[in-house]
Chains A and B, each alone.
Chain A
Amino acid sequence: DSGVTQTPKHLITATGQRVTLRCSPRSGDLSVYWYQQSLDQGLQFLIQYYNGEERAKGNILERFSAQQFPDLHSELNLSSLELGDSALYFCASSAGGGGQRYTEAFFGQGTRLTVV
C-alpha cells in the first residue's frame, strides 16, 4: 500500500459529461501529481500541485482542471468528456516541491475512466 488513495476506482460515464476524480496524498506529502495512462500514449503527465499551488503543467487539456485543497487532497475535474478520454488516471504524491526533487513519488491505484 503506497499510502495514496484514489477514488473512485472505476467510473463509467457518457460523452459530454463531467466527472471528478479524488486523490488523498500520503500523510505529510505536499506535492500531488496527476497522470493519464492510455494504451497508445503511455504515462502522460498532466499537472502538479505543491502545497495548494500549481507547480507544473503538462499535456493537460483545457477541458480538464485540477486543484489542491488546504488539507492537501486534490481533485481532477474532467468535463465535456469524449471517448478518447477513456484511460487510467493516476495520482502520485511526494514529499517535496522544488527543494526536494530527489524524492520519489508514490502512486495511487488509479481511477479507470470509461467514457461510453
Chain B
Amino acid sequence: AQSVAQPEDQVNVAEGNPLTVKCTYSVSGNPYLFWYVQYPNRGLQFLLKYITGDNLVKGSYGFEAEFNKSQTSFHLKKPSALVSDSALYFCAVRDRTGANNLFFGTGTRLTVIP
C-alpha cells in the first residue's frame, strides 16, 4: 500500500533563511511524487513533481525538491524563505501500477517569521 509521511506538523523559519519541509514515502516500485501548497480558505495548488530523471526538481515560487530513492524521501526546499511562503504544505505520492489515486501526507504548516 502506498503512504506518505510528513514527520513535522509545524516548521518555523526566519525570513531569508533556507527552509526544508520533510516527506518520506512508501510505495511499490518507483513513485510519482508531488508537492502542493494550501493557503487559508483555498484549495491545494500544485508546486512541483518528480517523475523521472534528475533527482532535483524545480517548481513554482522558487521551491525545489530532492528525490532520494535510498532514503525514500522527497523533501521540499527553498534557499530563502519569504513571509508569503507561510502556508500548509502537502506531499503526495502515486504509484505506477494498480490504483491511480493520489495519497497525501498529513501536511506541514510552515510559518516564516519576519
In the assembled complex, the CB of B35 is this many whole angstroms from the nearest CB of chain A, namely 10
Tell me the complex Cα distance, A45–B100, Å. 11
**In the assembled complex, B90 has its CB within 8 A of some CB on chain A:** yes
When A and B form their complex, what is the total count of cross-chain residue pairs whose Cβ atoms lie within 8 Å? 63
With a 10 A CB-CB cut-off, give which of B44, B96, B103, B106 has the most chain A CB atoms: B44
Q: Which of A42, A102, A108 contacts B104 (CB 8 A)?
A: A42
**In the assembled complex, A86 has its CB within 8 A of some CB on chain B:** no
Q: Which of A4, A42, A97 contacts B100 (CB 8 A)?
A: A97
In the assembled complex, the CB of B22 is this many whole angstroms from the nearest CB of chain A, namely 15
**In the assembled complex, B25 has its CB within 8 A of some CB on chain A:** no
**In the assembled complex, A24 has its CB within 8 A of some CB on chain B:** no
B100 lies within 8 A of A109 (CB): no
B44 lies within 8 A of A107 (CB): yes
A56 lies within 8 A of B32 (CB): no
B42 lies within 8 A of A45 (CB): no
Q: Which of B43, B44, B100, B104 contacts A55 (CB 8 A)?
A: B100
Give the A-binding residues of B (Cβ under 8 A).
32, 34, 36, 42-46, 49, 51, 90, 94-96, 99-107
Since A45-B101, A94-B102 are in contact, a sample of 11 more A-B pairs with Cβ atoms closer than 8 Å, ordered by chain A residue number, is A45-B104, A48-B99, A55-B101, A56-B100, A92-B44, A97-B100, A98-B100, A101-B96, A105-B46, A107-B43, A108-B43
